[in-house]
Structure 1
Amino acid sequence: MAPNTKRVFYVNNVAAQVYLDMLAKRPDIHVDKLENDSPDSAIEPVLAQAHAYQIGSSRQELVMKLQGYTPLLSRCPNLLVLSTNGAGFDTVNLADATAAGVAVVNQAGGNKEGVAEHVMAMMLALSKRIVMSDHAMRSGGTYDRRDFMGDDVQGRTIGIIGIGHVGTRVAELCRGLFQMRVIAYDPYQTAEQIAAKGAEKAATLEDLLRAADYVSINCPHTKETRGMMGAAQFAQMQKHAYFITTARGGIHDEDALAAALTAKQITGAGLDVWEDEPPPSDHPLLRFDNVLVSPHTAGITRQSRHNIAKIAAEQMLDILDGKKPPRLLNPEVWDAYRDRFAAILGFCPEA
């Protein structure tokens, strides 16, 4: 092993092979692989030496003892960075990482095209009632095609909650393809910033819900957004509106959504994310013909996975070379991180 070797590890898999290929070109970087069921005798030596952890983004696919919380961090004395496999960071506790002097980065924007196209696919399929008509034709029963009369999306209004990488691309597609009115609720961006992305800023979430024909959730899962869409919010939506989420389970209340659909407070929903993934086959939301579902696959396209892996490798190499990463999720850690980096790797990263 080369002098001053930097140790990176991952569990189960990475987004795509290109990540490993790019790191393999560097003789000063060694990569270890663990599995969810790796014995402690295999895990402990890796954790003890690791400088970086390329961590999975799905809570359901990564055992708790290998998620980025204090119990793991306390076993990693040399760990400098937690880098998620995607835009989400559900498997990492930012406060715990910051307290440990560990930087956290994600790959935001790497799968924006795949996710934004999924939003569009759901919006169109719901509006045209494609799933309902497909089921009716396959059932062998009688039906009247007029029962499947849908709506054009041309010129209608989409409300985007969280106008980051994905939300911006959704706005671009809706405005450009269908000349839709685009409104966005994002308390972390100014009206000018949102206007530059082709949308109008909604002053409140309630304003957006009352105006939109389609509501698309595109924000991260945080303490602020958890449970953001509940019974009161679904009641504020228009009765002909559709709710679409490709963000994270837990941002919307699944029981409240089922109740809203039962009461016909909204017309339908497109769901790619769930509180528990995959949801059980008897989940109440799977019983509705006007609910289009997928198992958190919006960002799983060949192109998106390749792009995420490439971004992750580039960012990891920059970090280990002492550069400040562009997707740092806990910037307040930087001073403590720099001190730890210098003590562990022997040189100081950029200010």
Structure 2
Amino acid sequence: MPIVYSTHPLHPNAARLLDGHADLVVASDLTPGTLAREAQTADIVIVRANLPDALFAGAPKLKAAIRHGAGLDMIPVEAATAAGVLVANVPGVNARSVAEHVIFVALALARRFRAIDRDLRHKGWLAGRAHSLSARELDGATLGIIGMGHLGKAIAAIAMGGFGMRVLGHTRRNKGFPDGVEAVARDELLKQSDYVVLACPLSPETRGSIGARELALMPKGSFLINVARGAVTVEDDVVAALESGHLGGAAIDVFAEQPLPADHPFFSFDNVILTPHLAGITEESMERMGVGAVEETLRVLKGDLPVNLVNPSVVAQYRRRFA
């Protein structure tokens, strides 16, 4: 049977869909050399880790690399295309999970949860209660979302419908937003927002796009929430804005270097919520992502193109390879 090589185990309900159609092989480790070597006999690769360019040159049977999720930064699309390999993803399947995480950390920042919990445990009742004097409500606050794809729209729906927040949005085209979301220029969004959420893909245009200049535009005491990619920000500039007190706090799920080094300055701030790139991971989203990736896998194995093909220019070369 065909071999489906996955960088990580799949949700059981997703793995079961392959029964009788393909053999599932899970990577023994995630080093580039291992991934390239173990993928040599694969027909399909399901991706949750960074793939090396060399994997595509050394896998003659490989039909497709299918992202277990939406972001394509883990797949070297140009190398895949040059090798005649289809690339697909499963957009939108974890948007609700990430959106709920954004609201969760926004509430925790607004209500000073980390400080209250810490001081109640270690200093007593009154020390914990003292932080409530500077706590805030989300109702009536302005939330600015940079990136209004599936994720941005899901965040906006919860923020407006559940918490009465004013929502500003910004994308490169600045159109097609849901009702109630105000389209504004990026600088204007930064100036007006009490909470700025980074929900955009990592691209040459967005890499390093939130640095000292952009952070200085944000109101003093405002909050930064990053669920995009770490490299969208200049991390040293975020640290500086926290040290100066200009930023009231931050919630960061993604980092320029992952895993986050134990000596990173982010760990020194009481007003920073850190999570290990898990905003989109829940029981429900893992099933949706796994099932979606396997459904695309089965389409390719049957001879069809993926529904969410992201490199359509490769199709002619792909068909020649498997004519």
TM over 0.5: yes
One-letter amino acid matched to 1:238 = P
In the alignment of these two chains, the number of paired residues is: 321
| Partner SS, residue 23 of structure 1 | coil
One-letter code aligned to 1:200: E
Q: Which residue of 2 aligns with 1:322?
A: 303
Q: Deviations over 1:175-206 (max 9, x none)?
A: 1011211111111x452x1145x42222x321
Partner residue of 2:223? 242
- Structure 1 unaligned segments of length 5 or more: list them: 60-66, 344-351
Q: Do the aligned partners of 2:115 and 2:131 also contact (CA within 8 Å) in 1?
A: no
Aligned partner of 1:145 in structure 2 is 129
Q: How does 1:279-318 map to 2 (within 5 A)?
A: 279-318=260-299
SS across alignment from 2:297: helix
1:144 to 1:23, Cα distance in 2 relative to 1, 3 A: closer
From 46, 49, 64, the equivalent of 2:41 is 49
| Equivalent residues in 2 for 1:176-191, closer than 5 Å | 176-187=161-172, 189-191=173-175
What is the aligned partner in structure 1 of residue 95 from structure 2? 112
Give structure 2 stretches of 5+ with no counterpart.
none
Contact persistence 1:51–1:78 (CA under 8 A)? yes
Shift of 1:68: 4.1
Equivalent pair of 1:68/1:97 in contact (CA under 8 Å):
no
The separation in 2 between residues aligned to 1:33 and 1:43, in whole angstroms, is 13
Identity of aligned residues (%): 34
2:277 is paired with a residue whose SS is: coil
**Structure 2 counterpart of 1:174, which letter?**
A
Q: Which residue of 1 aligns with 2:19?
A: 24
Question: Aligned in 2, Cα 1:37/1:218: closer, same or farther, shift over 3 Å?
Answer: closer
CA–CA distance in structure 1, aligned partners of residues 130 and 39 of structure 2:
62
Select which of 9, 14, 20 maps to 1:14: 9
How far does residue 147 in structure 1 lie from its aligned partner after superposition? 3.9
C-alpha RMSD over aligned residues:
2.4
**Which residue of 163, 166, 189 maps to 2:148?**
163
> What CA distance in whole angstroms lies between the structure 2 residues aligned with 1:147 and 1:132?
7
Using the TM superposition, give the Cα deviation of residue 90 of structure 1 relative to its aligned residue in structure 2, in angstroms.
2.8
Matches within 5 A, 1:59-74: 59=50, 67-69=51-53, 71-74=54-57
Question: How far off is 1:312 after superposition?
Answer: 0.9
After superposition, the Cα gap between the structure-2 partners of 1:42 and 1:300, relative to the gap in structure 1 and judged at 3 Å, is closer
Distance 1:103 1:190 in 2: 30
> Counterpart of 2:251 in 1: which secondary structure?
strand
Partner amino acid, structure 1, of 2:48? G
Q: Secondary structure at the match of 1:250?
A: helix
- Once the two structures are superposed, residues 262-317 of structure 1 have per-residue CA deviations (whole angstroms, 9 ceiling, x without a partner) of 11222110111112222122210111111111111111211111111111111111
What is the deviation of 1:144? 7.2
Offset of residue 36 of structure 1: 1.7
Q: Distance in 1 between matches of 2:30 and 2:255?
A: 24
Partner in structure 2 of residue 347 of structure 1:
none
Cα separation, 1, equivalents of 2:231 and 2:29:
24
If the length of structure 2 is used for normalisation, what is the TM-score?
Answer: 0.91
Matched, 1:206 2:187: yes
Matched, 1:333 2:314: yes
